Chain A
Amino acid sequence: MNNFEFTRPSSPQTAEDLRVEVRAFLSEALKDRTLAQQAQTWNGYDAAFSRSLGARGWLGMTWPKKYGGQERSALDRYVLIEELLAAGAPVSAHWFAERQTGPSILRFGTQEQREAFLPRIARGECYFCIGMSEPDSGSDLASVRTYAKRTDGGYVVNGTKLWTTNAHRSDYMCLYAKTDTKSEDRRGGASQFLVDMKTPGIKISPIPFLTGEHHFNEVAFVDVFLPDNALLGTEGQGWSQVTSELSFERSGPDRFLSSFAALIGMVQRAGPSPTPAQAAAIGRLVAHLAVLRQMSRSVAAMLEADLDPSLQAAMVKDLGAVLEQEIPDIARRVFPSRPGIGASDDLDATLAYLIQHAPSFSLRGGTREILRGIIARGAGLR
């Protein structure tokens, strides 16, 4: 099972110095955020906050300076991200652009695209949504039907994207669509596009969460014209471009810190002299988090060393989702609470939020079953 090796992570001094800086900034910037607001983590949307991170050089910090980056290591960025998430900072506005699309533009984009997008993403002024899922294509991404048909000077797109988080407040979409419907290979003939959301023919309709919140959307494309320079990377290479994004998407601290606010609430309730059962419950969650964090940092170190940790990343995400889903349930059993939306008690309000959001933790970004299938393939079982 050598495929599954995790190298020992290390934290460079630059990262630890950054940690101190970030903590100081956040303790001031987030001082009025309630625990239940902190629980929103990367669902929390605040463009002004995103711009304030950009102003500090904390967005796209690993990118080349000429594209607005700071040329810092992935391990520095890791520290920044985990500090933001643990503090429950509202990072949703820039999240997909900074985490996913920016790195793809850097890797696959043209010079013109890099110059056009990266500095703005790094300033926290250019937001992306991700258009992959469709009504009939969820886990089976290869089955997408949205079709970008070649035409003079570009493409004409028809189709419908679904569950598109932040489509209604993003400047661009990173669209995944078929460019060749006759490809023999199911995964072939797909491409990625950088789509200006103001393009005529795009219709965005809200799809409220079960909580009533508006984050995701349906995005319909009717004869939408995209110029040639909207193509990201190589026509027909969409599948391999998208899968290369996934190690970045799957291994980060965002994959196990979603319920961290509930743990903070547990420690608040416990006070300095917890009962043995309370101490054991808190200690168990801390131990689980400590080990997962070590695994996740190891993936970051492997990415930094240009290794391919996609299996390890799938493991971190799956283990992380199990833990994130467990935390609110343990909290409510160990610290009897009356979860209620907007409850005055911190833990009650936080649990009301997390209990309702927990099902999404093992769906978004690859479902539990799909991740386990990837791991099984890595083990040689399929």
Chain B
Amino acid sequence: MSKPENAVLDATERLFLERCGDEVLASANAGSWSGEFWDELAAFGLPMALVSEDQGGLGLSMGDAYGIAQLCGQFAVPLPVVETMLANWLLTLAGLPARDGPQCLLFEGLSVINPTGGRRLVGTCPTVPWGRNCAPVAWVQDAELSYVVALDKSQGEVAEGINIANEPRDALTIDADMTGQNVAVCAVDPALTERCAALRCVQMAGAMATIGEMSIAFAMEREQFGRPLAKFQAIQQSLAVLAEQVALASVAAQMASGAVSASSVQTLAIASAKARVGEAAGDVAATAHQVHGAIGFSEEYRLHYFTRRLWSWRDEFGNETSWFEQIGRAIAKAGPDRLWSELTEI
């Protein structure tokens, strides 16, 4: 993360530390929209983090925006912060105005039809983060062009769903007019799957950092057989592996964020990072729960806010197998003689 913007990251961290405590996490877990917390994030400017300053945003670089995503994971922020950041980036990319409120991105399951009376956007997009609370931004292609469509919250029919962490993941059915001011042609492929996968990867790394710290602190505090768990070699060895995985996730997150710029993405780097971190996620969660014992299995204790998110996020925007396959196909196509040079370019 580059230097000048670190002030924003520091301030974001302070805000999360103060505001994103157990109360917020518990009420979100019980199904409430954390409206007050959102208002504070919005007042601070996070939804507009990637919008340039002259358009009223914070003008952060992609790298710094990933720093914010990392913090969102580290604090399990139960709001569509990264989704809204990206939605606003997409809107301004297409020349549409950025918007204040919470937003979600729709880029699966939609198509353009062209009946008399003009083009329409139709279809159902599954598992949309906080679809019920958000104004959607859709990206859709027809045979010739791709479009960005800014929709109102009321324009989607919501079928509610939740992921493993009780985060809203709703199906949105859309049938909307595409002839108004809210539609723009998008000249470049915004690579939304890759960008979202990179964001989830970074969020997972953030959540793992918290899990790692909690597990180590717990092992030093909890005593059995007259000494702290940390003194048992079996515990030391499994926590060492946990620390390795937390570290590799943070390095993979660096890779993912370095693979995304405003104009392009490096798919293989994002694929490697997302899938590798997704694989580590299951191990990290399992070890953390093992070390914590029964208390970690209780709703009251905060470990599950992080582990349940890992179990959800690893499957969002491409699970391990789907990304591994994509990498493998690219490598097979390049052939054995180019294996190493492909690898060094990731």
A residues in contact (CB < 8 Å) with B: 1, 4-6, 8, 19, 23, 82, 86-87, 260, 263-265, 267-268, 270-274, 276, 278-284, 286-295, 298, 312, 315, 318-319, 369, 371-373, 375-376, 378-382
Contact of A274 among B240, B272, B323, B332 (CB under 8 A): B332
Given A283-B329, A288-B276, A295-B248: A369 in contact with B237 (beta carbons within 8 A) = yes
B residues in contact (CB < 8 Å) with A: 209, 212-213, 216, 219-220, 230-231, 233, 235-237, 239-241, 243-244, 246-248, 250-252, 254-255, 258, 268-269, 271-273, 275-276, 279, 320-321, 323-333, 335-336, 339-344, 346
Contact of B331 among A260, A286, A298, A371 (CB under 8 A): A286
Given A273-B332, A282-B332, A283-B325: A290 in contact with B244 (beta carbons within 8 A) = no
Does A271 lie within 8 Å of B332, measured CB to CB?
yes
Contacts of B212 in A (CB 8 A): 1
Output the nearest chain B residue to A368 by Cβ-Cβ distance: B237
B266 smallest CB distance to A (angstroms): 11
- Residue with the greatest number of chain A CB neighbours at <10 A, chosen from B213, B239, B258, B328: B328
- Residue with the greatest number of chain B CB neighbours at <10 A, chosen from A19, A260, A283: A283
Does B231 lie within 8 Å of A382, measured CB to CB?
yes
Contacts of A282 in B (CB 8 A): 327-328, 331-332
Per CB-CB distance, the 4 closest pairs between chain A and chain B, nearest first, are A279-B328, A283-B328, A283-B327, A283-B324
Contact of A382 among B236, B246, B252, B323 (CB under 8 A): B236
CA distance A4 to B236 in the complex (A): 16
CA distance A263 to B337 in the complex (A): 11
Does A375 lie within 8 Å of B323, measured CB to CB?
no
B92 smallest CB distance to A (angstroms): 27
Contacts of B258 in A (CB 8 A): 8
How many A-B residue pairs lie within 8 Å, measured between CB atoms?
Answer: 171
Contacts of B339 in A (CB 8 A): 263-264, 267, 286
**Interface of chain A: mostly helix, strand, loop or mixed:** helix
Since A23-B341, A283-B323, A381-B236 are in contact, a sample of 15 more A-B pairs with Cβ atoms closer than 8 Å, ordered by chain A residue number, is A6-B247, A86-B340, A87-B340, A279-B325, A286-B346, A287-B276, A287-B323, A290-B268, A290-B346, A371-B240, A372-B241, A375-B240, A376-B237, A381-B231, A381-B239
Does B243 lie within 8 Å of A270, measured CB to CB?
no
Does B216 lie within 8 Å of A372, measured CB to CB?
no
Contact of A381 among B219, B327, B328 (CB under 8 A): B219
Contacts of A315 in B (CB 8 A): 243-244, 247-248
Contacts of B233 in A (CB 8 A): 373
A318 smallest CB distance to B (angstroms): 6
Contact of B236 among A6, A260, A291, A372 (CB under 8 A): A372
Does A270 lie within 8 Å of B236, measured CB to CB?
no
Does A287 lie within 8 Å of B272, measured CB to CB?
yes
Output the nearest chain B residue to A27 by Cβ-Cβ distance: B337
> Can you list 7 residue pairs at the A/B interface with Cβ under 8 Å?
A279-B324, A279-B332, A283-B329, A287-B327, A288-B276, A290-B346, A319-B244
B104 smallest CB distance to A (angstroms): 29
- Residue with the greatest number of chain B CB neighbours at <10 A, chosen from A264, A282, A292: A282
A320 smallest CB distance to B (angstroms): 10
A18 smallest CB distance to B (angstroms): 12
Does B240 lie within 8 Å of A373, measured CB to CB?
yes
CA distance A381 to B209 in the complex (A): 17
Does B247 lie within 8 Å of A284, measured CB to CB?
no
CA distance A264 to B279 in the complex (A): 23
CA distance A292 to B254 in the complex (A): 12
Does A4 lie within 8 Å of B243, measured CB to CB?
yes
A347 smallest CB distance to B (angstroms): 11
Contacts of B255 in A (CB 8 A): 290-291, 294
Contacts of B343 in A (CB 8 A): 286, 289-290, 293
A216 smallest CB distance to B (angstroms): 27
Contact of A280 among B247, B272, B324 (CB under 8 A): B324
Contacts of B240 in A (CB 8 A): 318, 371-373, 375-376, 379
- Residue with the greatest number of chain A CB neighbours at <10 A, chosen from B235, B236, B244: B244
Contacts of B276 in A (CB 8 A): 287-288, 290-291
CA distance A371 to B240 in the complex (A): 9
Does B246 lie within 8 Å of A274, measured CB to CB?
no
Does B332 lie within 8 Å of A272, measured CB to CB?
yes
Given A267-B339, A290-B272, A291-B248: A379 in contact with B328 (beta carbons within 8 A) = no
CA distance A289 to B246 in the complex (A): 16
B277 smallest CB distance to A (angstroms): 8
Contacts of B269 in A (CB 8 A): 290
Given A284-B275, A286-B272, A295-B251: A276 in contact with B244 (beta carbons within 8 A) = no
Does B329 lie within 8 Å of A279, measured CB to CB?
yes
Contact of B328 among A1, A278, A291, A369 (CB under 8 A): A278
Given A19-B344, A291-B273, A381-B220: A312 in contact with B247 (beta carbons within 8 A) = yes
Contacts of B335 in A (CB 8 A): 267, 272
CA distance A19 to B345 in the complex (A): 12
A144 smallest CB distance to B (angstroms): 23
Output the nearest chain A residue to B245 by Cβ-Cβ distance: A319
Does A6 lie within 8 Å of B220, measured CB to CB?
no
Contacts of B252 in A (CB 8 A): 291, 294
Contact of B239 among A5, A312, A369, A379 (CB under 8 A): A379
Given A287-B272, A379-B216, A380-B216: A1 in contact with B243 (beta carbons within 8 A) = yes
Contact of A6 among B250, B279, B324 (CB under 8 A): B250
Contacts of B231 in A (CB 8 A): 381-382
